[in-house]
Structure 1
Amino acid sequence: MFRSLLSRLRTGVIDTLEDERGDVPGWVLITLMTAGLVVLIWALAGPALQGLFEQAIDRVSGF
């Protein structure tokens, strides 16, 4: 009984390790959504960040 359980467990582990297909469409979707969020946030916050950076440089240059 113990041998059959061990054999089934080993077979299951080997089958799992040999299955390398993965979830490619899911990863592609996650990557595209992340890139889209970065572009959206950059478009919304870009001008504000640029103004903040220029203001900081002007203050440092004023000394």
Structure 2
Amino acid sequence: MATEAAAWATVLVRRHLVHAMVPVPTGQWLVQHKPNGPVQLLEGPAAVLILTARIQRQLRMARPDSR
């Protein structure tokens, strides 16, 4: 799960969906959504995947229906 979380963190940062995501030695992750914004502490890889899913849902909801 840690490898998948790291891969998603890279995608989120590269696509500018979050400003920064950094793992810390304790297994937790630091997330900054905007430059100069507050830093959020995620409890582990599962929390990274939950955040990723939340961002994906928001993107899908913001997109007009293409059907």
Greater RCO (CA < 8 Å, at least 6 residues apart) = 2
Instruction: Give the helix-richer structure, 1 or 2.
Output: 1
TM-score (norm 2): 0.32
Instruction: Give the strand-richer structure, 1 or 2.
Output: 2
